[in-house]
Structure 1
């Protein structure tokens, strides 16, 4: 498959490496000349413009930050090829694509981010075992969705079907707000060297993503501001309840302890299911994912505690 990747940071660069290793014809582009040079030095094709990179492509992957996405989308409006993205918020991207007249778009988001960034941090195995959301909206072509699901499961990803708004609500809880909590926790050691000296496992694990480039976290959370604000209010209220119950805290901690001990869920047995929109969305809502893709059917998987049939 001829594929163009616009944006060669951690995700775009890793996708360039992974798709090339899988035998696809891949061309990249990045607005930074040094990044383009690094990609070429590593043996990859890199165009000097978006237009050059996407010329002749069957699939274009936008892997740029939300802040510059409108400029990239404007250059994709005339293309008839399939377009996807890896942006961490899906509703606004869906709306931008529609506003610019991009005809064949399937929103995507691989849950494979790290605190490191840039082409130098890219790895071809980054997506092995990761959850890769592919959005199914009312206007999404199921044929195009299956093309991408087949492509990304071929890279070792677990493809999770979801609506864009469902995705944005979920990632606010498990990705965006945790970045903000990590930042607040980490900044404490700037004014308390003793606390920094005593920091161990809980501090390290709870603040890892605070090392992410601030402009990337800001763009991620700002692009999903309604969902992030809602979750922040909910969690702050929950912390307020705990602060009033420090002498009888155990019952407040038990649900979280139970949830964390059971995560990640043990997968059940794969089953064949029809590849229709409602069945796929039901699979994603149950915590399941697509393992592989056939012509008209897919192999799905749900957590062990759930039913392993459609």
Structure 2
């Protein structure tokens, strides 16, 4: 696969396509201190980064303050929007944001968020989405270890300023995540298949089991709990997510319907082969260039470390 080889063979000493920042890591300001935002703020405090934050809920502010977060309306450095999708465009209202600050988000859909925020923020905005979280919500669900080992999708658009992209990537790496470079469209297609459709399937499975009667629900065990866990999430959150990514989600549902039409033994064998596959990882080093970063993400790989003018990471061995 050419893209994967491009990612793996890019450590040839080529100079990066932009000046590498040498300034100290900037402070981080988190807007929205619920599960994701509060967990990020707490994890960054534990990593020794200066962190400020704000939330419209005073109890969330109090909880974050107790974990070492400075509560303020003055935001600078890298500003993280950890708010519901419907609140993205108003999240900064009433707050004072340094005009040089980089802004990112943790939203589960990227195309609509980019469309909504780019007119005001331009290339200062870098879309992101950490692939973690639970069916719980609010500041009571904060967990500083939430991001450890998680994939963190980070958008590389044609107008993305790579120094800003790197600053956001460094935040993800600081809390133990692995960064997956993507375009917004690639992200939305991918998460429709592995996140948005599973929420709908969980809802369908739970509803169908309820129709089977109380006995069926009483006998539900591990497979039923695993299959329905995510639909325990806030229904408003799930609805906004799937409707905000309606086109890709419908296309992914069509693929599921096609799979269900296959002969049962064939379907079971094919699914088992996917989830039981064990791919080796091949380490790679690539320059901080747009094409190389996207090649890494498209190969199924991730960034795990910054090294001077390069980043290090891995790709699946089967991508060769």
TM-score of the pair, normalised by structure 1 = 0.89
Q: Is residue 60 of structure 2 the alignment partner of residue 35 of structure 1? A: yes
* Aligned with 1:71 (options 81, 86, 90): 90
2:189 & 2:96 partners in 1: Cα distance? 27
Runs of 4+ in 1 over 3 A off after TM superposition: 73-78, 188-191
CA contact 1:79–1:102 (8 Å) conserved in 2: no
1:203 & 1:76 partners in 2: Cα distance? 47
Paired residue for 1:211? Answer: 232
CA contact 1:149–1:293 (8 Å) conserved in 2: no
Return the offset for 1:306.
3.1
CA contact 1:73–1:97 (8 Å) conserved in 2: no
Return the offset for 1:103.
4.1
Paired residue for 2:141? Answer: 121
- Closer, same or farther in 2 for the Cα pair 1:96/1:157, shift >3 Å? same
CA contact 2:179–2:304 (8 Å) conserved in 1: yes
Q: Is residue 308 of structure 2 the alignment partner of residue 295 of structure 1? A: yes
1:110-259 to 2 correspondences below 5 Å: 110-191=130-211, 192-239=213-260, 241-242=261-262, 245=263, 249-259=264-274
1:225 & 1:2 partners in 2: Cα distance? 36
CA contact 1:104–1:141 (8 Å) conserved in 2: yes
Bigger RCO of structures 1 and 2 (CA < 8 A, at least 6 apart): 2
Figure out how many residues of one structure are paired with residues of the other and give that number. Answer: 293
2:210 & 2:190 partners in 1: Cα distance? 31
Return the offset for 1:39.
2.1
1:15 & 1:144 partners in 2: Cα distance? 18
CA contact 2:40–2:175 (8 Å) conserved in 1: no
Residue by residue over 1:104-142, the C-alpha shift from the partner in whole angstroms, topping out at 9 and shown as x without a partner, is 111111001211111111111111110001110000011
CA contact 1:90–1:164 (8 Å) conserved in 2: yes
CA contact 1:78–1:102 (8 Å) conserved in 2: no
Paired residue for 2:20? Answer: none
Residue by residue over 1:169-196, the C-alpha shift from the partner in whole angstroms, topping out at 9 and shown as x without a partner, is 0000000010011011112344411111
Residue by residue over 1:245-297, the C-alpha shift from the partner in whole angstroms, topping out at 9 and shown as x without a partner, is 4xxx212322211111116x4323x2222121101101100100111012311
2:74 & 2:126 partners in 1: Cα distance? 20
Return the offset for 1:237.
3.6
- Closer, same or farther in 2 for the Cα pair 1:121/1:266, shift >3 Å? farther
State the Cα RMSD in Å: 1.8
Q: Is residue 52 of structure 2 the alignment partner of residue 44 of structure 1? A: no
> Unaligned regions of 5+ residues in structure 2, if any?
1-25
